[in-house]
Amino acid sequence: MTSRLLAAATAACLLAVAAPAMAQDIGGTYRADGTNFDGSRYGGTAVITVTSKTTCNIAWDTGSIAKGICMRNGDSFAASYVMGDAIGLVIYDLQPDGSLEGLWTVAGQDGVGTEVLTPQ
């Protein structure tokens, strides 16, 4: 009986520690590191402003300015953006360290870029 009680207490502690990580706030400033369609690298910053439990605004400055809206569902995170005349989409996975690893594309263009947003 004691081992069951110990196991239950251990499980409860693990859940208590994991819950804040799953509910972590994604708002803030991030370093952006990515690759373009041709493999060339870029860097800059991104700022995410939370607007509700699931939605946000996002703005990148990577030498060009892009602004958009974003949405979170668990560990999935998506953003649509406008940069000049281009309309794009990014799909990220939230990592345990709080970074976002993603793939992006631009409407009407063939290719996919990569991007990692690291909290600052």
pTM: 0.79
Tell me the per-residue pLDDT of 15-44, one tens digit each, with 9 for 90 and over.
333 333 334 689 999 999 999 999 999 999
At 59-88, the pLDDT tens digits run 999 999 999 999 999 999 999 999 999 999
- Judged against a pLDDT cut of 60, whether residue 110 lies above it is answered with yes
Q: How far lies 62's CA from each of 103, 109, 118, in Å?
A: 16, 19, 14
C-alpha distances out from residue 81 to 2, 8, 89, Å:
55, 46, 6
